Amino acid sequence: MAPRKSSTGGRRQSLLADDAHLAALGVKQELRRNFSPLSMLGLAFAILNSWTALSASLSLALPSGGPTSVIWGLITAGVCNLCLAASLAEFLSAYPTAGGQYHWVAVISWKRWMPILSWITGWINVFGWMALVATAGLLGSQLIIGIISLYNDNYTPEPWHQFLIYIGYNLVAALLNAFGNHLLPYINKTAIIWSISGFAIICITILACASPDYNSGDLVYRNFINNTGWPDGVAWLLGLLQGGLGLTGFDATAHMIEEIPNAALEGPKIMIYCVAIGVCTGFIFLSCLLFVAGPLDQVISSPAGPLGYILYHATGSKAGTVCLLLFPLICLLFAAISIMTTSSRMTYAFARDGGLPFSRLFARVHPKLDVPLEALALTNLVVLVFGCIFLGSSSAFNAIVSASVVALGLSYGIPVAINCLRGRKMLPATRAFILPEWFGWFANLLGVSYVILTTVLFVFPPALPVTGSSMNYCIVAFGIVLLISMIQWFVDGRKNFTGPKVELDEHVLTAVDSPVNVRAASTVQRQLDNEKAEALEAQGGGRPSAGELSEKDV
């Protein structure tokens, strides 16, 4: 009988394969793989937190399509985002690096256009994640403002009130990311338990308290409302923004992939699971809210916000409403922490490949804190600038949400579209996750069509007529980012940015596909170390030891 391998030995073999896979992609393993698959699923679900994001952003869809937009918009966005997640999972299984989309674009693009396409994708993705960080504090601040309005009928919220709460949310998230990196896996596990518990408790409580005074099924699933001034069809499509927000951010798995073991096998599953869980929980939760909501015109106009009003109408108790609101409030804090973690890793990865100004600075990992501290600081600086939109625009909520959904959607669509244009033949055939060919084409084309549609629609103003303060400033923010990226391209990127390494040794893929067989991967790792050593020796620096070449041992 063959000796049984210990779990420690299996984990070691997996980590060896993971490190060799990264090395073959020209990436040095610097971050520790201290996230388990469960804690990574917790992080991904904490970022989507679909039932929380969907319920806290009801103000996006209720005036723009009503319940039909809330419910069926979620299903539409869910199917399309599942197709995008499955499409990107194929890339992740072959190229599990924190760079994600810009790295994948570099792999499959035409050689002549590879640097500029990878550059643009990286800038869009970095911008999208920074905007998504802002949405967590934004939703949390809106819920808190709603609680104050619930208890004080004479309260008039000022923009700076929400701004200060927004800053508080992001400050807590920043401190935990900077000084509590070792706590993040436990925070993520707690986040998924808290989220599922809150989902169940709120659903049971509001249904029990409101019984038998429910809205009809016809109102919940068929009622249409249009208070936007746009034609009905356009209004319903604009309501898709709520579903898009509740399901975007699943590429967090890719940007955190260098911190879980057995990455090429576990990453694709986590990416798809978090979207599927989000659609299911979101559909159930929104249905429960609409059944107990009461008159929808009052929900839309309530100063307590749609979610606060619905919970108060169902329970009849201000104290009970606040207790129930604690669940989404804390969920949004978990989301802010997780999104900021992912945003800092994405910024770090792009800087590591020379994609940002002062890339050497933002590509550093703090030796004691084990986090990309400068990349984290840059994320928080941009989030602070985003918050200033509160002070000048009445449609700031739509602008920031639109910016995150549009930017991340574009970053999902670009690699998938290029792969389709090249016949879906650019990924290695030995990767761990492969879609059936017919379904791969269906998922790719539907996902790209959804991205094109939403990119156009979500930069529209949320309502007509348009004024200077009600304009959707998403297009302005997007234009500024693209302008800066183009200037930086001509100043530096055109000469120095070559993109990440795009050629992957088949031996590494074989080793990752079967983690127990790591000899080939270890051989590749040793060959790379020898090449580095010879290069350093040729420069007159002496031949370094193996330990000096590999900063972190398994």
- Is there a contact between 546 and 529 (Cβ–Cβ < 8 Å)? yes
**What is the per-residue pLDDT for 547?**
42
Q: What is the pLDDT of residues 263-293, one digit of tens each?
A: 778 888 888 988 998 999 999 999 999 999 9
The correct CATH number of 46-499 out of 2.30.30.40, 1.10.3470.10, 3.40.50.720, 1.20.1740.10 is 1.20.1740.10
Using only C-alpha atoms, what is the Rg of the chain?
A: 24
Which of 90, 101, 94, 108 minimizes the C-alpha distance to 21?
A: 94
Output the pLDDT for position 9.
Answer: 46
The reported pLDDT for the residue numbered 530 is 57
Query: For residue range 465-516, what is the model confidence (pLDDT) as tens digits?
Result: 877 777 777 888 888 888 888 998 988 888 878 777 655 444 444 444 444 4
For residue 238, give every residue at least 6 positions away whose Cβ sits within 8 Å of its Cβ, in sequence order, or none.
Answer: 64, 65, 228, 230, 457, 458, 460, 462
Alpha carbons 525 and 509: distance in angstroms, whole number: 13
Note the residue count of the chain.
Answer: 554
SS3 track for 188-240: HHHHHHHHHHHHHHHHHHHHHHHCCCCCCHHHHHHCCCECCCCCHHHHHHHCH
Q: Which residue reads 């919940």 in tokens?
A: 220
Longest pairwise C-alpha distance within the chain: 83
Q: Say if residues 292 and 214 touch (Cβ distance below 8 Å).
A: yes
Q: What pLDDT, on the 0 to 100 scale, is given for residue 531?
A: 52
pLDDT one-digit tens code per residue, 26-79: 455 444 555 566 767 777 777 788 888 898 889 889 999 999 999 999 999 999
When the pLDDT of each residue in the chain is averaged and rounded to a whole number, the result is 81
Q: Can you give the residue ranges of every domain in the chain?
A: 46-499
Q: Residue 435 corresponds to which tokens in the numbers above?
A: 């879609």
- Quickly state the pLDDT bin for 257 (edges 50, 70, 90): confident
Please tell me whether the peptide bond between 212 and the residue prior to it is cis, using omega within 30 degrees of 0.
Answer: yes
CA 283 to chain centre: 20
